[in-house]
Amino acid sequence: MPRKLVYPKWFDQTPVTVNVTQGTNDQGEPLVVATYIGKCNHVEKSKTVRIGDGQYKKLAGSLTIRGDIAPGTATLAGVEGSVIIGGTTWEIFTAHRPKNPDGSVNHTKLELI
């Protein structure tokens, strides 16, 4: 029987609001796929990643949230959105959902610009 990986609850200390959008509606407004209001582990460590064709993008940090923040979506590939932490707004650059051995989502990791 597969077991779940441990994600420590004390890890998440920072209050956050995450709005995940994907695509647009008929009026051109972004479609909100999921909204998460809760706690996260926020790390403000900047790094530069190569995005292709010799272009580089500077990331402002990342955050990790226990569980799945968008359970209705099959994948987080190509998602956009915003993250609000302490009155500061960041844009979502990439999103990852590592899985447990039983197929459930262990945590959600968002990289921010």
- Rounded Cα distance between 94 and 73, Å, is 15
For residue 58, is pLDDT > 90? yes
Residues 90-98: what's their mean pLDDT?
A: 91
4 lies in some domain: no
Q: Give this prediction's pTM.
A: 0.87
CATH code for the domain of 53:
2.40.10
For residue 1, is pLDDT > 70? no
For residue 103, is pLDDT > 80? yes
pLDDT band with cut points at 50, 70 and 90 for residue 22: confident
14 lies in some domain: yes
53 lies in some domain: yes
- Rounded Cα distance between 91 and 104, Å, is 26
5 lies in some domain: no
- Rounded Cα distance between 11 and 13, Å, is 6
For the chain, the domain total comes to: 1
DSSP secondary structure letters along 28-53:
SPEEEEEEEEEEEEEE---EEEEEET
Please give the residue range of the domain that contains residue 16.
Answer: 10-112
